[in-house]
Chains A and B, each alone.
Chain A
Amino acid sequence: DIQMTQSPSSLSASIGDRVTITCRASQTINNFLNWYQQKPGKAPKVLIYGTSNLQSGVPSRFSGSGSGTDFTLTITSLQPEDVAIYYCQQTYSIPMYTFGQGTRLEI
């Protein structure tokens, strides 16, 4: 099974800050890496798919990068509505699409 490890587990930043969350896979996942945002009481919402592709309707301040086993989600200018938990997910290993443990982002 492929394990996904996110860091940090939580962080606090200020409005306008650049925020970076990292995700490491236990083996190479060939860029099959997605990022989700989950707000309290809501279902997860996809932000980035295939490492760096912005899902339709997602603000351009969100971006993703990486390769092999190491991946990054970046928010270039943090907004109040970005308070959420962020999860990475690998979909390389069918059928077990495992998630990272999540990163709680606070203002």
Chain B
Amino acid sequence: EEQLVESGGGLVQPGGSLRLSCAASGFALKNYGVIWVRQTPGKGLEWLSHIRSGNTSIYHADSVKGRFSIFGDKAKNSVFLEMNSLRVEDTAVYYCARVTRWEQPTGTIRARFCDLWGRGTLVSVSS
């Protein structure tokens, strides 16, 4: 069974750091893009970070740029989110998701979508 499992969340003081893990099983994560998304209590989904397949390129939302860093480890079949200088407003459930491409035989990409999600890990930033 294909699965993503997040871990590493917890309670941290403002200014502190955490490293979230997204471990894949049942497939090779390096063959897919991965995004991190967070959801604050009672609110919607916010895209945070993206690492493209093969760990070739990384991107971050402006809200976390310079504080968060996404990277992959092929040997561990995992993607990580290093979070520094945490703020109270970073309190949320953090999800990782696999990005699958629907590609025609001609090579034309018709869709990109998140077809596999982890269950999420809660990050609480509070003094």
Indicate whether B30 reaches chain A with its CB closer than 8 angstroms.
Answer: no
| Chain A residue at smallest Cβ distance from B120 | A43
CB of A28, distance to nearest CB on chain B (Å):
15
Pairwise interchain contact A102-B44, C-beta atoms closer than 8 A: yes
- Docked complex Cα distance between A32 and B110 (Å): 7
Binds A, one of B14-22, B45-53, B71-79, B82-90: B45-53
Binds B, one of A16-24, A75-83, A87-95: A87-95
A to B contact number (C-beta, < 8 Å): 72
Indicate whether A44 reaches chain B with its CB closer than 8 angstroms.
Answer: yes
Pairwise interchain contact A45-B45, C-beta atoms closer than 8 A: no
Decide if the interface of chain B is mainly helix, strand, loop or mixed.
strand
Instruction: Given A53-B102, A99-B44, answer yes or no on A45-B117 (Cβ-Cβ < 8 Å).
Output: yes
A43 contact from B46, B95, B99, B111, Cβ within 8 A:
B95
Instruction: Given A49-B113, A97-B35, answer yes or no on A87-B45 (Cβ-Cβ < 8 Å).
Output: yes
Indicate the size class of the contact surface on chain B.
Answer: 20 to 34
Pairwise interchain contact A87-B44, C-beta atoms closer than 8 A: yes
Instruction: Given A43-B95, A87-B44, A102-B45, answer yes or no on A96-B59 (Cβ-Cβ < 8 Å).
Output: yes
CB of A77, distance to nearest CB on chain B (Å):
25
| Chain A residue at smallest Cβ distance from B47 | A97
- B-chain residues with CB within 8 Å of residue A44 when the two chains form the complex: 45, 95, 97, 114, 117
| Chain B residue at smallest Cβ distance from A45 | B117
CB of B121, distance to nearest CB on chain A (Å):
11
| Residues of A52-107 whose CB lies within 8 A of B | 53, 55, 87, 89, 91, 94-102
Q: In the complex, given contacts A34-B114, A95-B52, A99-B47, what are 16 additional A-B residue pairs having Cβ atoms less than 8 angstroms apart? A: A34-B113, A43-B117, A44-B117, A46-B114, A49-B102, A50-B102, A53-B102, A87-B44, A95-B50, A96-B47, A96-B50, A96-B59, A96-B61, A97-B114, A99-B37, A99-B44
Per CB-CB distance, the 5 closest pairs between chain A and chain B, nearest first, are A50-B111, A49-B113, A95-B59, A43-B117, A95-B50
Q: Using CB atoms and an 8 Å cutoff, list the residues of chain A in contact with chain B.
A: 31-32, 34, 36, 42-46, 49-51, 53, 55, 87, 89, 91, 94-102
Q: Using CB atoms and an 8 Å cutoff, list the residues of chain B in contact with chain A.
A: 35, 37, 44-47, 50, 52, 57, 59, 61, 95, 97, 99, 102, 110-115, 117-120
